[in-house]
Structure 1
Amino acid sequence: MRNEYVQAVLAIVRMVPAGSAVAYGDVAELLGSGGPRQVGFVMSHHGGGVPWWRVLKASGHAPEGHEAEALLLYLEEGTPLVGAYSSYLRTGEGRWRVDLAAARWTPTDSDFDGVDAVAEDLERRLHRLSVPDDGMIL
């Protein structure tokens, strides 16, 4: 995975505000590059320093293996949830998920300026890597 792509994904994730969430595919769509699997790879290998709990499967389920920690963060941030999360807190049993329809981040115009800057920088860096010094495209 190219470092340029990793840094771009992490930059987008940093923009997602508390109480909101996005799906892996949303991040790829905002960047105009990659797909849910690539974003998932970045998050699983490099996402520890960003609000990783705000990036989910399209179903709204928390990152696998991090459900308990993520649930506490969702509750702290006021992220909309559905299902038996209160029983999950007490017993570790119960099915719940983020209500992605209600929690999905909708970037403002100002947010889109930042998203566009990250996406354009990524495109420029990746294009520069694919064009040799003689200017011929491979």
Structure 2
Amino acid sequence: MDEALHERVRDVVAAIPEGRVATYGDIAALAGAPTPRLVGRVLREDGGDLPWHRVLRATGKPADHLGGEQLARLADEGVPARDGRVELGRYRWDPR
């Protein structure tokens, strides 16, 4: 992967404010990534120091393997989940 793209993905994720969420697709679009899967890859390999918990699936659901921790961190920031899903219409970050 292109190092510049990698850093753009990291920069966009780092910019998500507390109390807001974005989808993998949102991050991909803002960073110019060809696919949301690339965002997941960056977070998996190099996202430990980022607010990774603020990035959700397009359905508002967390990653399967981190769902409990992800939703707990979001709840601590004032972002509740209902039935394991965050209401994107209310909590989605719009950087524009």
> Shared fold (TM-score greater than 0.5)?
yes
Regions of 4+ moved over 4 Å: none
Q: Contact 2:71 / 2:81 at 8 angstroms: preserved in 1?
A: no
Which residue number in structure 1 is paired with residue 59 of structure 2? 59
Structure 2 unaligned segments of length 5 or more: list them.
none
Matched, 1:97 2:85: yes
The separation in 2 between residues aligned to 1:82 and 1:99, in whole angstroms, is: 8
Q: CA RMSD in A?
A: 1.3
Which residue number in structure 2 is paired with residue 24 of structure 1? 24
Q: Contact 1:22 / 1:105 at 8 angstroms: preserved in 2?
A: yes
Deviation (angstroms), 1:2: 2.2
Which residue number in structure 1 is paired with residue 35 of structure 2? 35
The separation in 2 between residues aligned to 1:31 and 1:106, in whole angstroms, is: 14
Q: Which stretch of structure 1 is more off in the superposition, 28-37 or 15-24? A: 28-37
Q: Which stretch of structure 1 is more off in the superposition, 3-12 or 28-37? A: 28-37
- Normalised by the size of structure 2, how large is the TM-score? 0.89
Q: Contact 2:33 / 2:39 at 8 angstroms: preserved in 1?
A: no
| Matching residue's letter, 2:2 | R
| Matching residue's letter, 1:70 | Q
- Normalised by the size of structure 1, how large is the TM-score? 0.64
The separation in 1 between residues aligned to 2:38 and 2:17, in whole angstroms, is: 22
The separation in 2 between residues aligned to 1:35 and 1:52, in whole angstroms, is: 17
Aligned-pair identity in percent equals: 38
Matched, 1:107 2:95: yes
The separation in 1 between residues aligned to 2:80 and 2:89, in whole angstroms, is: 9
Q: Contact 1:80 / 1:103 at 8 angstroms: preserved in 2?
A: no
SS in 1 for 2:82: strand
Structure 1 unaligned segments of length 5 or more: list them.
84-95, 109-138
Deviation (angstroms), 1:13: 0.5
Which residue number in structure 2 is paired with residue 119 of structure 1? none
| Matching residue's letter, 1:30 | L
